[in-house]
Amino acid sequence: MVELSSASLIGTAILTCLFMAWVLGANSNSPPFAPAIGANAISTMRAAFVIGLLAAAGALVQGGSISRTIGADLIDGVTITPLAATAGLLTAATFMAVGIYTRYPIPAAFATTGAMVGVGLSLGGDPAIDTYRRLGTFWLLVPIMSGGLAYMTAIILRRDDVPETIGVPLLAGAVGAIVANVRLGVIPDPAGRGTVARFVARQFGGGPELVGGVDLGTILVTITVGALAFVWIRMRVLDSVERGIRSFLLVLGSIVAFSSGGSQVGLATGPLENLFRTRLGLPGIVLLAIGATGILAGAWMAAPRLLQATSREYAQLGVRRSIAALVPGFVIAQLAIALGIPISLNNIILSGVIGGGLAAGSAGVSRRKIGFTITFWLLTLGSSAVVGYGLYRALALAIGG
């Protein structure tokens, strides 16, 4: 048996992290901009360029919470070693590759979670039952939340008594208000709730605290940002309904792409959390920067081909139904980031497409494909744990560690 040095193991783990991030950048960030490409609001190459930048930025400033969940909360009693991290990431990347080959996208969140649970158990750790219960509850609620939000959004856009010069700007205002309260790691905050609204409000004293510890200033800033978004999109829609809707679609896609980076990077960096924080003594932002680099490279190198394929599907949906699918994508992705829960953006978008389709009287998606996809996802969660367990044991035996 050949014993690898500690430095070699660390280098291999980092390279595997980069590869996983590359795969995520190539495959998990296409849905947000596909509707805009299908509506001819942006070219494919420009979309790939923008996606890379936005997803990498989201990874840097929002990826910490999910990275910690993947790296420390899935298994009790043990810490993830570089070899275990390598085994887990290789397992997850392999499952995603199978999904690409079969054209049934496997959720990276399911594959990575299952793989890390498997390697953690193989290390001798104990199941983190409370974490599994929290993740499972959220995952079960995702289709309901996404489909429900998409359905309500589509209803608003389709109502004859709500003109598009009002309905679309109202949606933009709601999105703007939520954006103002998105948590960003680059904003210092003693309470750990660094948001644009809270930061701006603190510059003016904040004001009295109201329900839930939220001060009046934060609420006023939130309303102001929402009102500005409403006015801007309303002006665009009044000038031209179609161009205004396309502008909103483009902005919405940008926000979802940013959220995608924040929600996905932890799947690549989480397994290396213990390595960077404990053994190497490096701050978490360094690890997130590695993940962001991989996502950026994946988006720029491989996303255009997938964007062309997915944009054709979204072109058939139409811009209004695409908006209905992306709004819950943004809302749920940010909620998951705030709670530190790994999610699949494809799962959210698919549920949103179905919910928007129901508002038109038909889901517009093959029931057979939906059933097959859900089965694929459940099998992914269980089988990736088994493969991760076995792969770590095999690697440990092979290198004598």
Range of 259's domain? 6-399
Q: How many domains does the chain contain in total?
A: 1
Q: Which structure tokens are listed for 340? A: 């530190």
- Give domain status of residue 175, yes or no: yes
At 308 the three-state DSSP class reads: helix
pLDDT at 98: 77
- Tell whether the torsion through CA atoms of 282, 286, 291 and 294 is positive or negative: negative
Q: H or E segment at 76?
A: strand 75-76
Helix or strand or coil: residue 75? strand
Taking alpha carbons only, the member of 112, 106, 108 closest to residue 69 is 112
Contact 218, 201 (CB under 8 A): yes
| β strands within 106-231, DSSP E | 126-127
Give me the pLDDT at residue 315, please.
60
Question: Residue 209: CA atoms inside 13 Å, Cβ hemisphere, count?
Answer: 4
Closest listed residue to residue 28, CA positions, set 230, 224, 361, 263 = 263
Please enumerate in sequence order all residues whose Cβ is within 8 A of that of 35, keeping only pairs 6 or more positions apart, or say none: 249, 253, 311, 314, 317, 319, 322, 323, 325, 326
Place of tokens 């991290």: 85
Reading the block at residue 22, the tokens are 């590359």
Residue 131 lies in a domain: yes
Per-residue pLDDT, 74: 92
**208: left (phi > 0), else alpha (psi -120 to 50), else beta?**
beta
Residue 114 lies inside a defined structural domain of this protein = yes
Rounded to 5, what percent of the chain is helix, strand, coil? Answer: 80, 0, 20
Q: How far apart are CA 290 and CA 17, in angstroms?
A: 8
φ, ψ (nearest 5 deg) of residue 69? -60, -50
Is 1 a domain residue? no
345/91 Cα distance (integer angstroms): 20
257: in domain = yes
Q: What residues in the chain have per-residue pLDDT under 50?
A: 1-4
pLDDT at position 1: 36
Cα–Cα distances in angstroms (integers) from residue 167 to residues 170, 173, 177, 255, in the given order:
5, 10, 16, 19
Count how many Cα atoms sit within 13 Å of the Cα of residue 88 in the half-sphere of its side chain.
35
Q: What pLDDT is recorded for position 2?
A: 38
